[in-house]
Amino acid sequence: MPAKPVNPDLQKERSTATFNTREFSVLWAGGEERFKEKKALEKMFLEDPALQDDLPISYLSHKELYEHSLRKACIIGEKIRKLRADGEDGVDTYNALLGGSLGAAILKEGNPLALHYVMFVPTIMGQGTMDQQVEWLSKAWDCEIIGTYAQTELGHGTFLRGLETRADYDASTQEFVINTPSLSAYKWWPGGLGHTANHAVVVAQLYTKGEFRGLAPFIVQLRDSDTHRPMPGIDIGDIGTKLGMKGVNNGYLGLKNVRVPLNNMLMKNQQVLPDGTYVAPKNSVLTYGTMMFVRCALIRDTAQSLAKASTIATRYSAVRRQSPIDPNQPEPQIMDHTTQQLKLFPQIAKAIVFKTTGDGIWNMYNVISGEIEQGNLDRLPEMHALSCCLKAICSADAAAGVETCRLSCGGHGYMDCSNFPTIYGMTTAVCTYEGENTVMLLQTARYLVKVYGQALNGEKLVPTVSYISDAINQTKFVNFDGSLRSIVKAFQFVAANKTRIAYEQIELRRKQGHGTEVAANLCGTFLTAAADLHGRAFLAQTAYTELLALSREVSPELAEVLKVVLELYLVDACLNRIGDFLRFIDLTDQDVTKLEVRLENCLKRLRPNAVSLVDSFDLHDRVLDSALGAYDGNVYEHIFESTKKNPLNKEPVNGAFHKYLKPFMKAHL
């Protein structure tokens, strides 16, 4: 129970809801068992005094914040050890502690040990042989060694073929000699690299017998196991302050003639024999499995970001009163303004759709990973294309949605105590790491152009792109009746035509004499537009299929709310791309007006349940960490309490007055 009485406006919103919030909370958590596990984890971690902050971390220096974050990270790590010993360290536990929910409550600016768990360990599991896993995994799981993943360089990021770090095999000693030959070759950005990790998976260009072989991952010891001093040939440190993720200890790494044993190259997919003979992987994309894994996880993280931002903004909008709608009436809750609803409610809907889609993509990844283990790579390109475009779309929409929620809270949303600055900093980072969004869309577009050519040749396409064949066979969209199904079909028709245009533009450039890569560059805007619409068509289809399926499994009251959420999401998504719809589908002015009126109607229908919907996300006050979004709704009291924690307010007169201001004021006397 909250310590203070609940704000009466917020309490009224909850008492008039038409559905049971706990029912949706259980659904959001993934079922009753996971809901109980979530509550147990919150009790274990959030009630530990050692994991609470006396002083808001925004008042700490960069050095203090790192030391503070590492202390907490080690406590979390110790608790994870206990959970592992008890067999309770499932994927959901790591997602909660290292993702955007429980972990953010403990470490607002990120965990310096996160990449150890989400990149270092999975890379060994995914790219190491069984013998290498035996050698390294137990040490990594027990944190006897702390690792990170060093791929991005100062001069190169998403374009992996441009990486400069080089590993030359010396057959005489059966060692690799690793170098960063220039400043731009320095590894840059890996979390925990600065002062935390003592090992890293270093991605380098491999050379054996004087020949270039491609990229390969190497386990490299960075620091002495006892003293933590850098190993010979290692130049390492922290890259400094950033917009967000300030506690992650992102680092730089230079290597000069660093020698690692032959067996330190992870060789599940490719091998180097003792004499330097190179055995190529069956498929080069197998080496990118770790990044695909992380991208799938990030889609669900974006849903958490939107859930947090929309919860804060919606609760605030139920408490804040301003600007009379009727001059003869008192100031209303700002959530009664239709314009405010348009800012908030689509973000709630997107959070639900992104979570639903993220769960589906995660399950799809696990199925396809199993197929890959059996040597079946048929669906790998499809999975890669989907994970790329969905990571790009969901992160971009989430970052924009967080900012919209901040703006909806006026000036108070600009304060640190709102937690919007931190949520935005963490969310917008996803637009860049694990593949910059534009590059991700281009990756998807390559796949789409390829399958469009296959469809023209009459080949059968996999289900997620089968709509392209449908559009080729039926060049005109008929019977747009405004139903949700027709909106989904229209999205697919528009996406297919965007892909058609991209395909035709590339073919045109080829006929003009340009090579494939130059043609793709010249058509970059066509390609990214096609990938964007493909991802949005997939989101629309998933929302339609999954939310209707869920509505058949829950109570009638919750089912009605989910149907409104679905309609709001699809109508809003359609109107946001109305130019593309008008281009390819014969919509009239009346059709568009009907959609706009439906959007307003959806907002009106969702209004009575808005607070209860965000309550159903079941975000602990520590997770939100917001004066504006606390469960009790006592916004102004919480804002004022935050000022009392400000070190500047600990003394009535700051020393700078006597040192600077008073002499300045008296100088003319």
Binding residues for FAD: 152, 191
**In sequence order, which residues have a C-beta less than 8 Å from that of residue 462 and are 6 or more positions away?**
379, 382
Q: Which residues contact 111 (CB under 8 A, 6 or more apart)?
A: 69, 72, 73, 76, 98, 103, 247, 248
Paired residues of 147 in beta bridges: 199
> Measured between alpha carbons, how far is 421 from 405 in angstroms, rounded to an integer?
11
The Cα angle at residue 52 between residues 49 and 57, in degrees rounded to 5 = 155
Of the listed 42, 153, 382, 434, which one is catalytic? 434
Q: What are phi and psi of 553, to 5 degrees?
A: -105, -10
How big is the CA angle at 385 (ends 381 and 389), to the nearest 5 degrees? 175
In sequence order, what are the beta bridge partners of 155? none
The tokens of 533 are what? 């619409």
331 is catalytic: no
Rounded CA separation 407/338 (Å): 15
Helix residue ranges, H only, 90-226: 91-98, 102-106, 114-115, 121-127, 130-141
Q: In angstroms, what CA-CA distances link 107 with 140, 423, 647, 667? A: 22, 12, 21, 47
Q: How far apart are the first and last CA of the chain?
A: 60
Q: Is the CB of residue 307 less than 8 Å from the CB of residue 447? A: no
Contact (Cβ atoms closer than 8 angstroms) between residue 149 and residue 290: yes
Phi, psi angle pair for 424, to nearest 5°: -65, -45
Contacts of 393 (CB under 8 A, 6+ apart): 532, 535, 536, 539
Length reported for the chain:
669
218: left (phi over 0), alpha (psi -120 to 50) or beta: beta
Residue type, position 220, single letter: V
> Hey, what long-range contacts does 172-175 have (CB within 8 A, 24 or more apart)?
173/259, 174/261, 174/262, 174/274, 175/259, 175/260, 175/261, 175/262
Per the CB < 8 A criterion, the answer to whether 197 and 148 are in contact is: yes
What does the CA dihedral 521, 522, 527, 532 come to, rounded to 10 degrees?
90
Element (H, E) at 202: strand 199-208
- Displacement of CA 553 from its chain's centroid (Å): 29
| Residue list, annotated binding site | 152, 191
Question: In which residue are the tokens 């919860």 written?
Answer: 311
CB atoms within 10 A of CB 116: 27
Catalytic residues: 434
